[in-house]
Amino acid sequence: MTMPFYVAPEQVMKDRAEYAQKGIARGRSLVATTYDQGIVIVAENPSRSLHKVSEIYDRIAFAGVGKYNEFDQLRVAGVRHADTKGYAFSREDVDARSLANLYAQFLGNVFTHEMKPLEVEILVAELGDQGRADQLYHVAYEGTISDQDDFAVLGGDAETIAERFRTRFRRGWTLPEALVACVAELAGPERELGPSDLEVAVLERGAERRAFRRVQGEELARLLEEGRAAGAGPAEGGPVDG
Amino acid sequence: MSLPIFPPGADPGPDFAALLRRVEPAALPWWLGGAGGPPEGARGLRDGRPGHLPHGTTVVALRFADGVVMAGDRRATEGNFIAHRSMEKVFPADRHSAVAVAGAAGPAVEMVRLFQTQLEHYEKVEGVALSLEGKANQLGQMVREHLPMAFQGLAVVPLFAGYDLRRQTGRIFTYDVTGGHYEETDHAATGSGGRDARTTIKLGWRPGLSRAEAIELAVRALYNAADEDAATGGPDAVRGIYPVVALVTAEGYSRVAEDEVAARFADLLARGLGRER
């Protein structure tokens, strides 16, 4: 029997992290932010049928970047977890925090115990109600979980985009304003993104039990138009005064 | 609870009942493949008749110009007792369909809850909603699995109706206890007062009814059913309890406000309904 070469654990983890980061960096990024009526998630995604952003439950949405088959498996698991819990207990008992924790545990487990880490980063967004604030849980490939109140950026260029986005973000802005900012910062200074390059969905406060809604086609084009006309126009890319 | 992830060969797909069977069998009733077995003896029966458990009674559905109207009375009975005065028997199944139930109240409501979850689960996992025909088939399978309970006197007989977005019309499906389902062309009624309700609808129905006419016909049918059948509850002006009336159109499911149903009844009474002795 041959003995395997000894590799220091630090090196193993470093190699795995590098591998996962490379995989994630190959895909396009995604921005989620709160606005006056809810949460909007904007992903760069030319496909109309392979979604990066999806519905999990009444007030919970899911978004993933990286390898499609891997985050889609996690999405389906989330739907299954939420529906099972809501059926066994009650719809009110389904919350994003416990789901995000499950994702974190699963990703952490795979990262340390499996040959190959998952090349994904995911976002679990929950629309707040009755005094509870909106929540954005960001779970990284190795199971690190962080929760954000205002906005979250996922993907290869996350840091640069988040840096730029921070200067534009305003609490309580409208959907067109938020959309235009998301699209501009996803694109960066050198590119332009049109409605056909984008996948947009919102969790919207309102009468409907299921708050998740896709914003697409003419509605998306109209909202972008509105946002550009409403004042993001003059200070191209610069901070917007509150 | 852990994250429900399955190996490719053992994936339950978009089937919610199959998923529950795997991860939370205690939450499923045994007759839908959950934990436990059939109850010993026939506990729901008293002298061979379903006496101990609440039973829901009359529900109706009819097509009109924009889709379908579905309505149900509010009474549940335990033998000759009134178990509930304000039970609801008409439910949204999903955005574009409705389900109404007659029969043993407990299993009926449980079946509706599972059916609702099943439709939403499928839509979320697959990314598209089932066709109306697919939904009707799903419900038929649940009724069929419930057949052993029907033999113990705990039958559940649903009525399913929805707006078919592909054909752009309202459609109605009726069921028998074996899970057999049949598409009705224009209207349907089931439950203990179903026969009387059907007679009323048959006399008053014509193609292209307006929304107001359709609601009026549905409540009139329930009134006549309550007039003849002791287990069907009529309008209760003293307590302010009126039938549940729901519409399913291209815009989706909507429940008609109780005030409007009360006003329809007042209207019908003013025009002579119930004056015959």
pLDDT digits (tens, 9 = 90+) for A35-60: 999 999 999 999 989 999 999 999 99
- Of B98, B120, B112, the closest CA to residue B247 belongs to B98
Whether B8 is covered by a domain: the verdict is no
| Chain B partners within 8 Å of A79 (Cβ) | 121, 124-125
Task: List, as own/partner pairs, every contact residues B7-13 make where C-beta atoms lie below 8 angstroms and the sequence separation is at least 24, other chains included.
Answer: B13/B125
* B41 in a structural domain: no
Q: Do B20 and A84 touch (CB under 8 A)?
A: yes
Position B119 scores a pLDDT of 97
Q: What are phi and psi of A215, to 5 degrees?
A: -110, 115
DSSP string, chain B: -------GGG--TT-HHHHHHHH-GGGS-GGGT-SS-PPSS-TTEETTEE-SS-EE--EEEEEETTEEEEEE---EEETTEEEESS---EEEEETTEEEEEEEEHHHHHHHHHHHHHHHHHHHHHHSSPPPHHHHHHHHHHHHHHTHHHHTTT--EEEEEEEEETTTTEEEEEEE-TTS-EEEESSEEEESTTHHHHHHHHHHH--TT--HHHHHHHHHHHHHHHHHH-TTS---BTTTTB--EEEEEETTEEEEPPHHHHHHHHHHHHHTTTT---
Q: Which residue has the higher pLDDT, B51 or B275?
A: B275
Q: Which of A100, A40, A113, A41 is nearest to A74 (CA)?
A: A100
Radius of gyration of chain B (CA): 19
Residue B143 pLDDT level (bands cut at 50, 70, 90): very high
Which residue, chain included where needed, has tokens 């839509």? B123
pLDDT at A236: 45
Domain that holds residue B229: 13-36+52-270
Query: If pLDDT is split at 50, 70 and 90, which confidence band does B275 have?
Result: confident
**Distance from C-alpha of A80 to C-alpha of B124, rounded to nearest angstrom:** 9
Q: Hey, which residues 33-62 in chain A have their CB within 8 Å of chain B?
A: 49, 51, 54-56
R_g (Cα) of chain A, nearest Å: 19
Q: What is the mean pLDDT of residues B40-63?
A: 69
What is the number of alpha carbons within 13 Å of residue A120 lying toward its C-beta? Answer: 23
B15 touches chain A (CB under 8 A): no
Residue of chain A nearest B116, judged by CA positions: A87
Considering CB atoms only, which of B3, B113, B120 is closest to A77? Answer: B3
What is the pLDDT, as a whole number, of residue B51?
52
Q: For B27, which residue in chain A has the nearest alpha carbon?
A: A88
Rounded distance, CA B187 to CA B209, Å?
12
Sign of CA dihedral B257, B258, B260, B265: positive
With respect to residue B129, please indicate whether it lies within any of the assigned structural domains. yes
Predicted local confidence at residue B164, as pLDDT? 96
CB-CB under 8 Å, B23 with A79: no
Residue of B nearest to A76 (CA): B125
Tokens of B4: 């429900």
Question: What ipTM was predicted for this assembly?
Answer: 0.90
Q: Is residue B5 part of a domain?
A: no
Record: contact B20-A87, CB cut-off 8 A = yes
Minimum distance, in Å, between the CA of residue A65 and any CA atom of chain B: 18
**Alpha carbons B247 and B238: distance in angstroms, whole number:** 26
* B247-266 confidence digits (pLDDT tens): 999 999 999 999 999 999 99
Phi-psi region of A237 (alpha: psi -120 to 50; beta: other; left: phi over 0): left
How far does B107 lie from chain A, in Å, by closest CA?
15
Beta bridge partners of A200: A42, A215
Segments in chain A below pLDDT 50 = 232-242
The predicted pLDDT at position B79 comes to 83
Does A85 contact chain B (CB < 8 Å)?
Answer: yes
pLDDT of residue A241: 45
pLDDT score for A240: 46
Is B23 touching A (CB cutoff 8 A)? yes
> Could you tell me if residue B100 is inside a domain?
yes
Q: What angle do CA A216, A231, A32 make, to 5 degrees?
A: 45
Which candidate, B59, B94, B92, B91, places its Cα nearest to that of B73?
Answer: B59
Nearest Cα to Cα of residue A133 among A53, A61, A205: A205
Burial environment of residue B32 by CB neighbours within 10 A (0 to 12, 13 to 18, 19 or more)? middle
Q: Contact at 8 Å (CB) between A65 and A30?
A: yes
- The backbone torsions φ and ψ at residue B146, rounded to the nearest 5 degrees and listed phi first, read -85, -5
DSSP-assigned states of every residue in A162-187: HHHHHHH--TT--HHHHHHHHHHHHH
The answer to whether the beta carbons of residues B171 and B162 sit under 8 Å apart is yes
CATH of domain A23-232: 3.60.20.10
**Using CB atoms within 10 A of its CB, is residue B133 exposed (0-12), middle (13-18) or buried (19+)?**
middle
Closest CA to B123 of B96, B155, B90, B86: B96
Share of chain A above pLDDT 70, in %: 95
**B16-23 vs A68-88: helix axis angle to the nearest 10?**
80
| Sole residue written with tokens 């359709």 | B214
Tell me whether residue B7 is in a domain.
no
Q: Do A137 and A127 touch, CB atoms closer than 8 A? A: no
Contacts of A50 in chain B (CB under 8 A): none
- Domain residue spans in chain A? 23-232
Per-residue pLDDT tens digits for B99-124:
999 988 888 999 999 999 999 999 99
In whole angstroms, give the CA distance from residue A242 to residue A239: 9
Supply the pLDDT for residue B210: 97
Q: How many domains does chain B have?
A: 1
Band (pLDDT 50/70/90 cuts) for residue B52 is: low
Kindly report the CATH number assigned to the domain that includes residue B248. 3.60.20.10
**Which residue is associated with the tokens 């369909």?**
B97
